[in-house]
Structure 1
Amino acid sequence: MMPRFVLIASIFMLSGCATRVTWDGLTPSKSYQIIFKNQDADPVSGVSASCNGNGIWPSDKIAQEINEAHEKSDSSGLLKLSHSGYEVGGTYKKLGPFTWGGSEQWKVYCTFIHRGSIIESGKLAKFNQPVEITVPKII
């Protein structure tokens, strides 16, 4: 019984030694280049993006900025998406090398649509590098 009490008391006392860390930073402005081609490798124009955030700053603002641009892929199949940079921050607790209680990360999800059909969807970060997407034949 005594060792259990000592363990619980030690944990309780050490938890008071944990440090709350507050951080702030900047997510940079970013551009994405996505090329849409059909199965014959011909460019597909008119593909649009519809994005939404996960409710954590600045995901909803980034999604709104992309959506309000109303961009569509051009005659070469190129769709350019971009957003501004935003200040970000958060907190977490730290005790020695251990951390916990951190803020969840922001994420933006985008769906690419052509003629009313979903072509591709996923996290915006998936499209960080120039990406080529094949548009399936619509029946």
Structure 2
Amino acid sequence: MLELIVPVQAEQCIALLRRMPKNHPVRPIVEKDLRLWLKGYYGERNVAYHLSFLPEDEYYIFHGLRLKDKKFFQMDVLLISSKFALIIEVKNISGTLKFKKGSNLMTRELNNLEEGMDIPFNRSKGIISNLVIG
């Protein structure tokens, strides 16, 4: 089983912020990067919690698996059983999401601000492969 760990990029941001003066002009950028890396990690940790209820003798769970086909690619979670393999791509998006039918765009409403975003979709088929809103 490949365990879920804090991304090395988040650890690097933390180390950099410890050494960076509070008024450094690049500090807000590093702080934003750290928030994004941790937000992704917390989303994956939430999914890992729910997957932890699966029987260990029936499922293998791999977090952050990196493989090479023609080029390297990474999967947030790979869940394998004797009957299937499921690739799970985790998105941790705050706010209210609105989807427009027939479009690859969505809007997110958060703190009375609306922002357009691309829908996380299956790039090979051009459709949403799995979407869980909770």
TM-score surpassing 0.5? no
- Greater strand content: 1
From the CA coordinates, give the structure whose radius of gyration is larger.
1
- Bigger proportion of residues as helix: 2
Q: TM-score, normalised by structure 2?
A: 0.21
